C-alpha cells in the first residue's frame, strides 16, 4: 500500500470544527468519509502548532460522578461496556478513550483480579464467628500451632512465566510461542510447618482417602512434632477435606491424643503454610524443571531451605489476619 495522501486544508478545517462541536474521531471519520487514522493525524498535527490542545471537556463533574457509580457496580465490565452504560445513563456521546481517561482520573486501573475461594453467606458467618472466638489468641498461642496443607506443583506453571519480545506479524512464529500441554506433569505434596520451622514433606502417590491420610500423619507429622515440640503441647491445624474430616481420622487423633484446631471452610487466607508454598513455587519457576524427578528434587531442596525465621514471620501475622476477617465481616481478605 502506498503512502497515504495528505488531507486538504478544507478537510482539516472541517475536522477541527467537528471536533470543537464535541464529535468523536469515529463520528468525524464517518461523516467526512475518511479513515479514523487520518482524523487522528490531522488533530495531532494541528495540536502541535498550538499551546493549549486540551479541547472542550465533554463530561461534567456530574457525569464523572455517574461513571464512578457505574464502575463500582460493574467491576468486571470492559471499557467499551462501561462506555455504553455511561452513554445510556447520561445521554452523552463519549468515546471509549474518553471513558478510559476519566476512569484513570477517578483512580480506577484495570488489573488482573486476585483469585480467592468462593464463600457463601453461611461460610462467611462461620469465618466471622471463628475469628472472633480466636481474636484473643496471642502470637505465642499461634506459635504452638502446626499448620498443614496439600499443594500441587506442575512442570508447566500456566500463564505465569516470561514475556516475549516480538514484532507485528510474529505472533505465531516458532521462536515466539510458548509450548503448552493439555495435561501437564505434576505432583501433589503434603507438608506441615510451625513457627519453629518446616516439617517433613510427603510426595503423595495416589488419591488421598482417610486411610492414606492417616498413614501420612503417622509417617510425617508425628516425627515432625516430636522433633520440634518434644514433650511440649501443640495444636494441629488441617482444612475440612473429606479425608481430614472422616470419622476414622477423628478416631486416629483421639487415639494419638492430638488436639486439632477447629477450622472454617475455604479459608486459605488464614493458613500461613500458603506463604511457604508460594515461596517454593517461585523458586521452582526460576529453576525450570523439565522432568518429574527434577521437579521433586527442586521442591525438596526449596522446602528444606526455608528457615525458621521465614516460618515465624507469617505465624506472627495471625492476629492481623483475624482482625482482617472481622473487618471484612467474614469475606475474603488480602492474605
Domain boundaries, the chain: 9-46, 61-106, 121-328
Question: Model confidence at 1, in pLDDT bands (50, 70, 90)?
Answer: very low
Counting residues of the chain whose pLDDT is more than 90, the rounded percentage is 57
Average pLDDT, the chain: 87
282 near 274, Cβ under 8 Å? Answer: no
Determine the straight-line distance between the first and last CA of the chain, rounded to whole angstroms: 54
Dist. CA 186–CA 209, nearest whole Å: 19
Q: How long a stretch of residues is the chain? A: 335
pTM of structure = 0.69
Identify which has the larger pLDDT, 294 or 206.
294
Question: Model confidence at 52, in pLDDT bands (50, 70, 90)?
Answer: very low
Q: Where are the alpha helices (DSSP H) in 91-209?
A: 96-105, 121-133, 139-142
Note the pLDDT of residue 160: 47
Please, what's the b/e burial string for 99-138 (b: 16 or more CB within 10 A of its CB; e: otherwise)? bbebbeeeebeeeeeeeeeebeeebbebbbebbeebeeee
Say if residue 35's pLDDT is above 80. Answer: yes
Note the pLDDT of residue 254: 97
Dist. CA 160–CA 285, nearest whole Å: 9
Cell numbers 479541547: residue: 55
Dist. CA 209–CA 12, nearest whole Å: 75
Segment 101-119, tens digit of pLDDT: 999 998 888 887 777 788 8
Note the pLDDT of residue 165: 61
Say if residue 82's pLDDT is above 50. Answer: yes
Q: Which helix (H) or strand (E) holds 245?
A: helix 242-245
The cell for 314 is 507469617
Question: Model confidence at 50, in pLDDT bands (50, 70, 90)?
Answer: very low
Question: In the chain, which ranges are E strands?
Answer: 145-154, 186-194, 197-198, 202-204, 235-237, 260-261
Point out the least confidently predicted range of 55-69, 166-180, 284-298, 309-323. 166-180
Instruction: Tell me the CATH number for domain 121-328.
Output: 3.30.420.10
Average pLDDT score over residue span 49-55: 48
Amino acid at each position: 500500500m502506498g503512502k497515504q495522501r495528505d488531507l486538504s486544508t478544507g478537510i482539516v478545517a472541517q475536522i477541527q470544527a467537528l471536533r470543537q462541536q464535541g464529535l468523536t474521531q469515529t463520528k468525524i471519520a464517518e461523516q467526512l468519509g475518511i479513515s479514523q487514522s487520518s482524523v487522528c493525524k490531522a488533530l495531532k498535527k494541528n495540536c502541535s502548532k498550538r499551546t493549549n490542545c486540551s479541547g472542550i471537556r465533554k463530561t461534567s463533574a456530574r457525569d464523572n460522578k455517574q461513571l464512578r457509580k457505574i464502575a463500582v457496580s460493574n467491576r468486571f465490565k470492559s471499557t467499551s461496556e462501561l462506555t455504553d452504560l455511561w452513554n445510556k445513563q447520561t445521554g452523552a456521546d463519549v468515546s471509549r478513550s474518553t471513558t478510559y481517561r476519566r476512569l484513570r482520573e477517578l483512580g480506577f486501573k484495570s488489573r488482573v483480579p486476585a483469585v480467592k475461594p468462593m464463600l457463601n453467606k453461611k461460610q462467611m458467618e462461620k469465618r466471622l464467628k471463628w475469628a472472633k472466638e480466636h481474636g484473643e489468641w496471642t502470637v505465642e498461642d499461634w506459635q504452638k500451632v502446626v499448620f498443614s496443607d496439600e499443594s500441587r506443583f506442575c512442570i508447566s506453571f500456566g500463564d505465569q512465566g516470561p514475556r516475549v519480545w516480538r514484532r507485528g506479524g510474529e505472533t505465531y512464529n516458532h521462536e515466539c510461542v510458548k509450548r503448552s500441554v493439555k495435561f501437564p506433569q505434576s505432583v501433589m505434596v503434603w507438608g506441615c510447618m510451625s513457627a519453629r520451622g518446616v516439617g517433613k514433606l510427603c510426595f503423595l502417590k495416589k488419591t488421598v482417602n482417610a486411610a492414606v491420610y492417616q498413614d501420612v500423619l503417622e509417617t510425617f507429622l508425628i516425627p515432625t512434632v516430636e522433633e520440634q515440640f518434644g514433650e511440649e503441647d501443640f495444636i494441629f491445624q488441617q482444612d475440612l477435606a473429606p479425608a481430614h474430616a472422616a470419622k476414622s481420622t477423628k478416631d486416629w487423633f483421639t487415639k494419638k491424643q492430638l488436639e486439632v484446631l477447629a477450622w472454617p471452610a475455604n479459608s486459605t487466607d488464614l493458613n500461613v503454610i500458603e506463604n511457604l508454598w508460594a515461596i517454593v513455587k517461585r523458586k521452582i519457576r526460576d529453576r525450570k524443571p523439565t522432568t518429574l524427578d527434577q521437579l521433586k528434587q527442586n521442591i525438596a531442596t526449596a522446602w528444606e531451605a526455608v528457615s525458621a525465621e521465614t516460618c515465624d514471620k507469617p505465624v506472627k501475622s495471625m492476629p492481623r489476619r483475624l482482625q482482617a476477617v472481622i473487618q471484612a465481616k467474614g469475606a475474603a481478605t488480602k492474605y
